[in-house]
Structure 1
Amino acid sequence: MSTPSGGMRPGLATAFAVVGFGALAICGLGVLSLVTGEDVVAVRGLGPIPGAVGFGAALIATATTLAISLRAPRPSYATAALTGVVALLSYLAGLIVSAVVVGVDAARALAAAGGFAVSWFGLLLVVAAAIAGWFAVALVRTRATPPRWTWERDEDE
């Protein structure tokens, strides 16, 4: 379950980080929407599909970025910033493309993406992805191990 350096395997760290990113982003976007009283994607007539597709694109991009970046022998914590930027750009691309596919005109799709990018929602998505990226790098670089009960420990410990 660990690499020769003592850290967690990159694939497992990526899986944990992507699940964490998804949970943190969904919770954060929901709470922020509740507190501000604004919709996450505030363009009329867009529907729920473009936002969901954008979020799926952000999840896939985060997983891909981490899967590639964590393969390095000692991955850099700068991966966290890259993960945040890639997640936001992927969200915006997924939002625009899916909005156009479902029949929304391009101007409204671009307005939705632009509004999201400069809102607190966009910042929250970047921060959630960056936290997940940092977490994944930390899991690979440190001697992180899953928690174990007392009876699971070796006698030599």
Structure 2
Amino acid sequence: MPDPVESGGGSVRPATAVVFATAAFVALLIFGLGMTSLTWGQDVIATRGLGQVPGIVATVAGTAAFAAGLWVAVRREPVTYWGSAWTTAATYLAYLGGLWFGALVTGAGLGVAAAIAGRIATTWFGLVIAVAGFVCAWGGIALVRTRAGRPRWPWEDEFDE
């Protein structure tokens, strides 16, 4: 079997891995929060009158922290899976901070904004945010660490004959 690095295979470039993992994070975050909301019959942000701004700000902040954390993790030598833990923590805290800030911007007081962020942090919604960050960061790091070649059909192997 030829070496994947010598035959043109190899790991995914760090920038490509960050893009794919960030897209997967956004998709998994939105899906996870939606399914959790549907399962428990509760809104993600249960406070009336705030609109969508706190959720949008939180998602943007969490996504930015995810991408930045993963970028730092995949640029280190050697690339380790511990970067997924730090990326998860940064994502989780940025999401909560973005939610708090978004609630303040929409007119909620300090106490209400803190209560909203605290509710998310201590319910299933917070777990969804953390799991989405961890799974996607782990996947992004795996893309960079894996030294595999492209998929091939058995009949494509020229050395088989």
TM range (shorter): 0.7 to 0.9
CA distance in 2, matches of 1:76, 1:5: 20
Name which of 36, 51, 56 aligns with 2:55.
51
Gaps of 5+ in 1: none
Q: Report the alpha carbon displacement of residue 154 of structure 1 after superposing the two structures with TM.
A: 7.6
Alignment of 1:7 with 2:11, yes or no, is: yes
Name which of 18, 22, 36 aligns with 1:18.
22
- Between Structure 1 and Structure 2, whose CA radius of gyration is higher? 2
What TM-score comes out, normalization by structure 2 length?
0.86
Alignment of 1:69 with 2:73, yes or no, is: yes
Q: Report the alpha carbon displacement of residue 95 of structure 1 after superposing the two structures with TM.
A: 1.0
Secondary structure of the corresponding residue to residue 98 of structure 2: helix
Contact 2:9-2:150 within 8 A present in 1 as well: no
> In 2 relative to 1, CA 11–137 (structure 1 residues): closer, same or farther, beyond 3 Å?
same
CA distance in 2, matches of 1:149, 1:101: 55
Contact 1:42-1:115 within 8 A present in 2 as well: no
CA distance in 1, matches of 2:21, 2:94: 17
Alignment of 1:131 with 2:140, yes or no, is: no
> In 2 relative to 1, CA 142–32 (structure 1 residues): closer, same or farther, beyond 3 Å?
same
> In 2 relative to 1, CA 46–72 (structure 1 residues): closer, same or farther, beyond 3 Å?
same
Q: Report Cα offsets for 1:123-153 as digits up to 9, x if no partner.
A: 01100100011001111111245657889x6
CA distance in 2, matches of 1:6, 1:126: 29
CA distance in 2, matches of 1:12, 1:86: 21
Contact 2:9-2:149 within 8 A present in 1 as well: no
Gaps of 5+ in 2: none
Tell me what 2:42 maps to: 38
Q: Report Cα offsets for 1:29-55 as digits up to 9, x if no partner.
A: 111111110111122222211011101
Tell me what 1:105 maps to: 109
Contact 1:14-1:66 within 8 A present in 2 as well: yes
Q: Report Cα offsets for 1:91-115 as digits up to 9, x if no partner.
A: 1111111211222111111100000
Give the total of aligned pairs: 154
Q: Report Cα offsets for 1:72-100 as digits up to 9, x if no partner.
A: 12211111111211111001111111211
Seq. identity, %: 44
Tell me what 1:143 maps to: 147
CA distance in 1, matches of 2:148, 2:52: 39
AA partner of residue 48 (structure 2): R
Secondary structure of the corresponding residue to residue 98 of structure 1: helix
CA distance in 1, matches of 2:87, 2:47: 27
